[in-house]
Amino acid sequence: NINQKTISTTAMCNGESIDVESQERKANPIEEKYFSASRVLFLGGIMYTVFIIGLAMRSLNIPALVGGSVEIDGLSFPIEASRGLQIVGGGTRKKFTGGKVYTAGIYFDKEGTGSIVSALEPEEAALDQDFFDEVASSSSSKAIVLKFQQDVKAAVVAKDVTGALSKILEETSSDQFSKALGEIIPAGTDIPALTEISILCEEGTVTIKKGEASSSVIDETICPAIFGLYLGKSPVSKDIKDGFVSGALSKATA
């Protein structure tokens, strides 16, 4: 006899056809269930391990390498930008409601990156606020690259940045930066998701750039203030500051 669902070996016993394999399977239902359960648990264990590793990397803000770039909160940043600047780390600026506004990558020139890494070597590590203040006020060429996670009103971003800077800068310096930023993201316009805006600090000059548009201000007090917004004692985004530390530590222990 041929079973339509399964092909099995048959034998004759007292003139009746007996499906031997079916009998063997029926005789070992516990064993079959054991191996099936083992396979499920094994595959489940692998998936869970991968999930936990990914979750840990996200929670620690460790940049994930992707070819010649790193991925921070789902967005790609080049490892090396123009003028030889190298990414150290970064994170995401969020609303009070938890919504993501933009992700920032913090870059330093080779000398500046080397100094940061040296300061964080295990035997010399000192993560007090003096360390961050020195990083923010260093003469190294550096930049902050913002990539937007969602569509945002230009006025909202301008108010967020210039409002914070106005509390730590002289009025003249604050107004100069606000004017330069307004030329790049005019009031009344929108900043589409995935738009990139960079703020470059080089020899006392701050240059804001979006696409082909750029605007510069010569003022040595602005750059330390901008980096202080993200690396200061009360940063506008703890996630960005923590991401900078995680990235720097990963370089120091590499």
Give the CA distances from residue 240 to residues 91, 96, 120, 176, 223, in Å, rounded to whole numbers and listed in that order: 4, 15, 18, 25, 17
Tell me how far apart the alpha carbons of residues 54 and 58 are, in angstroms, rounded to a whole number.
6
- Give the torsion sign (CA, 208, 209, 213, 218): positive
pLDDT at 65: 52
Tokens representing 107 are 């870059």
% residues pLDDT > 70 (the chain): 72
56-87: buried (b, 16+ CB within 10 Å) or exposed (e) per residue? Answer: eeeeebbbeeeeebbebbebebbbebeeebbb
pLDDT at 96: 76
Greater model confidence, 89 or 127:
89
Tell me how far apart the alpha carbons of residues 8 and 23 are, in angstroms, rounded to a whole number.
10
pLDDT at 239: 97
Greater model confidence, 54 or 222:
222
Q: What angle do CA 173, 231, 202 make, to 5 degrees?
A: 50
Instruction: Please tell me the pTM assigned to this model.
Output: 0.74
pLDDT at 72 over 60: yes
Average pLDDT over residues 64-84: 86
